[in-house]
Structure 1
């Protein structure tokens, strides 16, 4: 049974001498520049001695408008619990924290009132309503997402795109493969094509699962939580459970996964989202 993990990003570097091509999100590819400009990353801003700051990647999210972001409830919950200073990055990953038109401050955090979760290693109880909204200072995003109201039960068997900024890999000139957050590796948005299906276990309520296409080796990873699941009708879900297995931590190991991640559907929450975003 796979160990699922949706808490904060594990910051680590794994080096391998293998010459196998580097994997992405894991198993996806780099998004083209400007392909999904509404996919943003959530970062904690940490002060160093003096006035300088540095950022650590937390989760991914979706820009609904110039001042509202949709993400997973557990991402926002951890920020509140540990009183982290959270910012939204929507510009290029190599830009420093003081770069204009790249970062926005989070002014308000709204977690779904019926949100609940419990996570213990090797034991997962069903998580509920894993969704949150963040109000921000204006984001200069070129295009905002369209939410889909299509009933998620009708989406089983269809293809979608998962886009996120979590753990990924890069290959150095000497063949060494490094595994770390896309922020630390200066990697762009990672995307992968998946198939939607009904979960065999109640990891999330409500929720549905994602499978890799054509038996390919791919999975979401820590830091991809809050990522949008994109369908031709619009964004149909928010990634709640990403997988923490050897495929994320040691992506050169020859193994395959049947579960890419577990997603909270958008359709049951349209009214709740609009009640805040349009207020």
Structure 2
């Protein structure tokens, strides 16, 4: 299941993670618990975390549909499936930054002026290369997160977002620690759907109970470096259900497309 948010779920087709052609509309019955075992984020814990939503009327909580990460003062990284329908109208998107609480008075809304969708999104399998960049109308007063450049195996990862909790969508982002799942085990869990070159997995294979879910799409998967800093290694992409044993969450692997991402950012800087 592609992990869309409240604002997009009702009208969007989603991939079930079984085959590239298995699609169905999200209904209320599809919304499974998020971050079981997780907890609300504290202010300042994820300063580069943003919500992505539609411009127009309504509160940020009502308009937010996906997550993203500030990777430069004017660029946000998110999932391609979150914004692919906005390619012809990127100015219909905004980001919400400055707080983990979508009802906070400190929240800042910034317009999006352009969008770069991964050119090989959906190749070689349905949700491969699930990444996109948003160019902001003006710089945000946020220190960008450092992005992973080398593929690696990890022990424990961390994810954060405003996704479904089983009791609705929270206004305060929640975070959860996730065991790393190696490519072989993830391929066994999702035969024919998992691509180890462009994806990585995290979750408790045996017990389930910890995962990202609907509404967390585009948000970060994090790993600590040798200095204890949070490094962006993945983007919330898809999974079969949420927090189910044997069905880990699947994430776009940032190290795979880091060069293409830099090229796109350089193109914007050069006015292309």
TM-score range, shorter chain: 0.7 to 0.9
The partner residue of 1:259 within 223, 238, 247 is 247
Say yes or no: does 1:230 pair with 2:227: no
Counterpart of 2:182?
197
Q: Deviations over 1:35-75 (max 9, x none)?
A: 11111111123447xxx998422111111011100011111
Say yes or no: does 1:188 pair with 2:173: yes
Q: Deviations over 1:185-241 (max 9, x none)?
A: x22343333323212224343212212288351221111111111112321111110
* TM-score, structure 1 normalization: 0.71
Structure 1 or 2: larger strand share?
A: 1
Q: 1:241 to 1:82 in 2, by over 3 A?
A: farther
Counterpart of 2:207?
215
- Report how far residue 83 of structure 1 moved: 7.5
- Report how far residue 84 of structure 1 moved: 8.0
Identify unmatched segments of 5+ residues in structure 2: 11-26, 226-230
Q: Find the residue that maps to 1:168 and give its secondary structure.
A: coil
Counterpart of 1:176?
none
Counterpart of 1:17?
none
- Report 1:153-192 matches (<5 A): 154-155=152-153, 158-168=155-165, 179-182=167-170, 186-192=171-177
Structure 1 or 2: larger helix share?
A: 2
Say yes or no: does 1:114 pair with 2:120: yes
Q: Deviations over 1:106-135 (max 9, x none)?
A: 1101101111279xxxxxx63221110000
Larger Rg: 1
Identify unmatched segments of 5+ residues in structure 1: 15-22, 119-124, 170-178, 248-255
Q: Deviations over 1:69-99 (max 9, x none)?
A: 0011111103347888211011333447xx6
Say yes or no: does 1:31 pair with 2:41: yes
Q: Provide the rounded CA distance (Å) in 2 between the counterparts of 1:79 and 1:90.
A: 20
- Report how far residue 148 of structure 1 moved: 0.9
Q: 1:272 to 1:192 in 2, by over 3 A?
A: same
Say yes or no: does 1:129 pair with 2:129: yes
The partner residue of 1:74 within 60, 72, 81 is 81
Say yes or no: does 1:240 pair with 2:247: no
Q: Provide the rounded CA distance (Å) in 2 between the counterparts of 1:54 and 1:30.
A: 16
Aligned residues: 233
Q: Which moved more, 1:75-84 or 1:54-63?
A: 75-84
Q: Provide the rounded CA distance (Å) in 2 between the counterparts of 1:71 and 1:165.
A: 14
